[in-house]
Amino acid sequence: DTAVSQTPKYLVTQMGNDKSIKCEQNLGHDTMYWYKQDSKKFLKIMFSYNNKELIINETVPNRFSPKSPDKAHLNLHINSLELGDSAVYFCASSSQYSYNSPLHFGNGTRLTVT
């Protein structure tokens, strides 16, 4: 009954490849997010998305694109992977209709680009 689940847990790939990370939440939330945690352990917001609005952190390269087939899913697609994309990526969700709704995070996808 995992609330926010990400797949795969580990992803090893070569430079230049295109890959996707999937995220699903079963909490009925309407807003989802992607965060990146680099080797120094800093967590940085990449995107927040609901059916009305996509907010993109201006530092995120356009090789990264979120794709949402429905409210329960927000997948992260990455084109032309680079060495610097190696990091742990976390998906999260919350409810914009619950005034104090905290964010619920998945357990991350560790991406290694070789």
Residue numbers of the site for another protein (CB under 8 A)? 4, 31, 33, 35, 41-45, 48-50, 53-55, 90, 92, 94, 96-97, 99-100, 102-108
| Shortest spacing between CB 74 and another protein, in angstroms | 12
Bridge partners of residue 57, in order along the sequence: none
Rounded to a whole number of angstroms, the distance between the first and last alpha carbons of the chain is 34
CB-based contacts of 40, cutoff 8 Å, min separation 6:
none
Nearer Cβ to another protein, position 10 or 18? 10
Nearer Cβ to another protein, position 16 or 67? 67
Other beta carbons within 10 angstroms of residue 100's beta carbon come to 6
| Shortest spacing between CB 48 and another protein, in angstroms | 4
Is there a contact between 78 and 85 (Cβ–Cβ < 8 Å)?
Answer: yes
| Shortest spacing between CB 67 and another protein, in angstroms | 16
Other beta carbons within 10 angstroms of residue 41's beta carbon come to 7
| Shortest spacing between CB 99 and another protein, in angstroms | 6
Nearer Cβ to another protein, position 109 or 113? 109
